[in-house]
């Protein structure tokens, strides 16, 4: 009989050790994340509803035009009519903070992986594991370490949304024409200058597609965040599931859809407005 491998016991031992020995460090992370979340949530919820709705609609107009702006206003009016505005802003704060953290970690890691085959070989299987491992598996250690509330939801969301950012950044930089890079080197450009002025601008459309995926994956985690005590639409979805409340579930679900459509259209439009994307569009036309 094949002997049992106590992998779960080993993982539990590691988590217990981390919890016991790095408690001040984790408490510092929790305080910073909670402070950032509360601050961003205050920015989104403290202005009058109509002011915030107009500001978001103005962002939609700047990104894609009046049709998206009007559609966004209608969606926001629907959220307000269902009395889900505050929950929607709580969710938006969680999504934006998680996306920013994922991008802050993922873009540099993607750049590093694009410039080093060894790093890429190490990072790729880790990303595969992060994308295929069920969310609840790594949600359990985050709850053990950070307890309940918004912080474990943010940490789990960052882990879940990190992979596409790294992959798209690496892919975009690796797809840059090597002859263009060699031309920059021939003119004496440093590696840092080549990265800033050649590789990143040319890879911008691909990186923006990765940013779009990060935001969409972060938004898909709102229900998971609600299960561990985070405020927002996810908590209403969880409550509706527990009470078998179809009405509440439909309202919270539709509010999530409105936010998803708004964020997807805005980020997609911003990606298409980059100079490289415009040049490619003119070339194809």
Q: What is the CATH number for 172? A: 1.10.3720.10
For residue 267, tell me if it sits in a domain.
yes
Residues 89 and 45 sit within 8 Å (Cβ to Cβ): yes
In terms of pLDDT, which residue wins out, 226 or 172? 172
Question: 248 and 236 in contact (C-beta within 8 Å)?
Answer: yes
Query: Tens of pLDDT along 73-130?
Result: 999 999 988 888 888 998 899 989 999 999 999 999 999 998 888 988 998 888 888 8
Q: Does the residue 176 lie in any domain? A: yes
Provide the pLDDT for residue 132. 81
120: which 2 tokens? 């890429």
Name the residue range of residue 114's domain.
21-284
Span 54-76, average pLDDT = 89
User: Is 16 a domain residue?
Assistant: no
pLDDT at 101: 92
* Distance separating alpha carbons of residues 224 and 201, to the nearest angstrom: 35
Q: Does residue 2 sit within a domain?
A: no
Number of domains in the chain: 1
User: Nearest-CA neighbor of 114 among 4, 199, 46, 179?
Assistant: 199
Tens of pLDDT, residues 139-169? 788 888 888 788 888 888 888 888 888 999 9
Where on the phi/psi map is residue 230: left (φ > 0), alpha (ψ -120 to 50), or beta? Answer: beta
Percent of the chain's residues with pLDDT above 70? 94
Q: Is residue 39 part of a domain?
A: yes
Q: What is the reported pLDDT for 104? A: 92
**Secondary structure element (H or E) that encloses residue 79, with its range:** helix 66-81
Q: Which of 194, 187, 183 is nearest to 114 (CA)?
A: 194
Confidence of residue 275 (pLDDT cuts 50, 70, 90): low
Query: Which residue, 106, 221, 210, 96, is CA-closest to 157?
Result: 221
- Does residue 112 fall inside a structural domain? yes
Centre a 10 Å sphere on the Cβ of residue 137 and count the other Cβ atoms it contains: 9
Examine residue 4 and state whether it is found in any structural domain, yes or no: no
- Domain membership flag for residue 279: yes
| Cβ pair 207, 277 in contact under 8 A | no
Query: The tokens 């002859």 sit on which residue?
Result: 179
């Amino acid at each position: 009989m094949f002997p049992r491998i106590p992998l779960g016991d080993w993982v539990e031992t590691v988590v217990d050790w981390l919890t016991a020995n790095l408690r001040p460090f984790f408490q510092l992370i929790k305080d910073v994340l909670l402070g950032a979340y509360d601050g961003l949530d205050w920015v989104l919820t403290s202005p009058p509803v109509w002011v915030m709705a107009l500001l978001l609609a103005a962002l939609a107009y700047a990104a894609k035009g009046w049709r998206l702006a009007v559609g966004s206003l209608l969606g926001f009016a629907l959220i307000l009519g269902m009395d889900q505005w505050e929950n929607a802003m709580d969710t938006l704060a969680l999504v934006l903070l998680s996306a920013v953290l994922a991008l802050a970690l993922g873009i540099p890691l993607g750049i590093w992986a694009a410039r080093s085959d060894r790093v890429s070989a190490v990072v790729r299987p880790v990303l595969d594991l992060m994308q295929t491992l069920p969310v609840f598996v790594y949600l359990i250690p985050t709850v053990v370490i950070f307890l309940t509330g918004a912080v474990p939801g943010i940490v789990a969301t960052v882990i879940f949304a990190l992979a596409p950012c790294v992959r798209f950044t690496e892919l975009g930089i690796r797809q840059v024409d090597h002859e263009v890079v060699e031309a920059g080197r021939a003119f004496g450009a440093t590696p840092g200058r080549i990265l800033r002025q050649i590789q990143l601008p040319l890879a911008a459309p691909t990186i923006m597609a990765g940013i779009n995926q990060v935001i969409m994956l972060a938004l898909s985690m709102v229900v998971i965040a609600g299960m561990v005590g985070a405020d927002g639409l996810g908590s209403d979805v969880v409550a509706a599931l527990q009470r078998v409340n179809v009405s509440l579930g439909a309202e919270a679900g539709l509010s999530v859809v409105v936010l998803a459509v708004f964020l997807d259209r805005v980020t997609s439009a911003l990606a298409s407005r980059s100079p490289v994307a415009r040049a490619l569009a003119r070339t194809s036309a």
